[in-house]
Amino acid sequence: MAGAKPGVHALQLKPVSVHEALKKGGKFIKWEEDTSQNVPDRQITLNVDADGFFLYWSVSPNQELEILDISLIRDTRTGKYAKQPKQKTLDLIPSRDENDNLLTIVYGTDLVNVTFYNFVALELNVAKLWVDQLFEMATNKLSQNASRTTYLRKAHTKLTLQAIDGKIPLKNIYKMFSDRKRVDYALDKKHVTAINLEEFTWDFFTGFLDKACGRPELQTILEESGSRNKPFITLDQFTTFLNTKQRDPRLNEVLYPPLKKEQVRQIMENYESPSHLDRDQISLKAFSNYLAGEENNIVPPEKLDLMDDMNQPLSNYFINSSHNTYLTVGQLTGMSSVEMYRQVLLTGCRCIELDCWKGRLPDEEPYITHGFTMTTEISFKEVLEAIAESAFKTSNYPVILSFENHVDSPTQQAKMAEYCKTIFGDALLINPLEKFPLVPEQPLPSPQDLLGKILVKNKKKPDLSVKSLEEAGLKELEPESEEEDTEETAAEMNKPYSDEGTAYREVIATKEMSTLVNYIQPVKFKSFNDAAKKKRVDSSNYMPQLFWNIGCQMVALNFQTPDLPMQLNMGVFEYNGRSGYLLKPEVMRRTDRQFDPFTDSIVDGIVANAFRITVISGQFLSERKVGVIVEVDMFGLPGDAKKRAKTKMSNGNSMDPVWKNEKFFFPQVILPSLASVRISAYEENGRFIGHRVLPVSAIRPGFHYICLKNELNQPLMLPSLLVLTEVWDYIPTEHQKYADALADPI
């Protein structure tokens, strides 16, 4: 799919479907990479539950299963990319074909500290199926953004999988929910330590939740919708509710007309019993289930799909970009890692950095490190092999290799160029596309034109450069630059290679490396003054929004640091199919006008928004019985009227806190297509619970649950917030009376 077309978007995303072979289970040998623990190889049966929530296996009878949350699987590998077991492990396999029996699962909640689970299939043609199916489920965009009901089903499934000898230990329920007294009250189980598995049905679980958490705020919403103290509202009242509270006033009424009663009744049929349907009523329970259901997610599913037009010139997109991709900690010390290239690419990042240095005798193999620091070195060739493996697993759109080339050896640069050609093969774009020659005034090719291609960004030998590239090419802003601030003189450009270090200036590209450079090359950019660039050594990030606001295509961040800027970057690039490319707002792409990012007034041709959010309640925000606070941040242009707000602290209640009159109004969002709202929750001691980043242009108005995510933008199972969001077209105060007259002309 090349991107959005005019009119209503046809959703391409599909829900998770679990292959029968995974539900039935497969026989594997589980082996440990760390031999110091003397853990023996064990034959196990791998299974996936019917909903695709968990991968699990048993070590021995009558013991708890080992369970992996599939949404936290980072990667799956087989063949030469899997971890290689000892020969004694392979000897246990009756039928095998080289590496085709191997299965490695990469798992974790951050990019640096991942865990490898290693298995060997007992039968041929099994491991590949599990690799493909598990990765497809783990990266499913709908399951990564599921409804609150789905996550409650996930919690129920986990508790049932933890049953031992047909009983669910109460300790597991206590661990999942923060208030033990309320758990005991809701279960009404005295002096017992477990619940029979047959008794613990979905209806039993939802009844337990209803009793543990009274949820009076849901009754209030129903009453405000017209129930008049009755436990239901009518079809007419529910229709009015959907077409007023839940409808987006920014929608075109021709393409998206208000719902008719027949359509509303179809929605009711998904949640209500026949007895209420016969009376054209929706009960409080069914109404509550609708609010928590898939049809009422805070972001419509099409916004997670590939929505942007992907046929614009490459420079018209924001590109998800990484700085010093190989680092795992700070800029001065710590380990460099080949694995980081895989992990960063798997997030959807499309521009990665390679700091290349001249290899030493006797091998003279180029390596990657942060020059003149105490960071470790990794093999240049191994990095390219990792890139080739992972470049297009998450996104098929082009990958840019940003070389910082300090290899002052023509022989080794030639070796680097040859490695690029042999390892990447046809994926490496060497010659410009026929339709997009390197001539002045010629637009760059689009992401769609470059599908599945790897582009090299490197300094180009002067006589091979094309001036038009400097005019049409991409600008990149990185956290710190190792180039000197002065212009390189002609004498410096022609300085012969030497054995001296080149930490403060990249070397001149040889002919071999220059031939790999086409549409993108670094150009010295002097419009910004980063005063801290020589002082920051801790791999912290600057706020990318500041640079998106002024049109920077590649804002390169330290992916190993999950700070607020990185969380924002992860959240923003989750959209448009997690392709790694986001089309800039139209006002930034126009050549006939200049956009002022510091404006505090309405921009011609842009409909500004007003946004209001009411934080109503929280659900299962922490496993600890603590107070909780919710923060709301608006990231947009400097001229937007308000930036941050926060609720009062809940009174020692993290299980089901309810806030009153916590309304936060953002009266003017000048450029909604470039603005995002971040809703985050913290314990009273400041400990981060979870957050969610929502584009203003994608937010559905109305009552919705916001299911929270961790720092890596992976979904949390239980923590959620019930909010009321309101978004409408901004109208200046001086024009409000005319707008009111048009809305109500009689």
Longest alpha-carbon distance in the chain: 89
Alpha-carbon span 340 to 320, nearest angstrom:
15
Annotated catalytic residue, options 370, 406, 691, 704: 370
Active site residue 370: yes
Closest CA to 574 of 684, 451, 715: 715
Sorted by sequence, the CB contacts under 8 Å of residue 351 that are 6+ apart come out as 319, 320, 321, 322, 399, 400, 402, 457, 476, 554, 556
Alpha-carbon span 507 to 93, nearest angstrom:
52
Alpha-carbon span 414 to 419, nearest angstrom:
9
Annotated catalytic residue, options 9, 191, 276, 323: 323
Alpha-carbon span 665 to 361, nearest angstrom:
64
Peptide bond into 61 cis (omega under 30): no
Tokens of 462: 């002067």
Q: Strand, coil or helix: what is 435?
A: coil
**8 A C-beta contact, residue 225 and residue 284:** no
- Residue whose tokens read 């007992």: 122
Length of the chain: 746
Active site residue 406: no
Q: What DSSP letter does each residue of 269-338 carry, written as one string?
A: HTT--HHHHHTTEEEHHHHHHHHTSGGG-SS-GGGGS--S-TTS-GGGEEEEEESSTTBSS-SSEE-B-S
**8 A C-beta contact, residue 722 and residue 714:** no
Residue type present at position 45: T
Tokens of 247: 């409808």
Tokens of 161: 């999988």
Sorted by sequence, the CB contacts under 8 Å of residue 186 that are 6+ apart come out as 208, 209, 211, 212
**8 A C-beta contact, residue 364 and residue 411:** yes
Closest CA to 474 of 315, 360, 335, 609: 315
Question: Would you give the DSSP letter of residue 432?
Answer: P
CA distance to 17, 81, 105, 142, 716, per residue, from 48 (Å): 11, 23, 14, 18, 19
Dihedral pair phi/psi, residue 682, rounded to 5°: -135, 145
Alpha-carbon span 665 to 611, nearest angstrom:
6
> Known catalytic residues?
323, 370
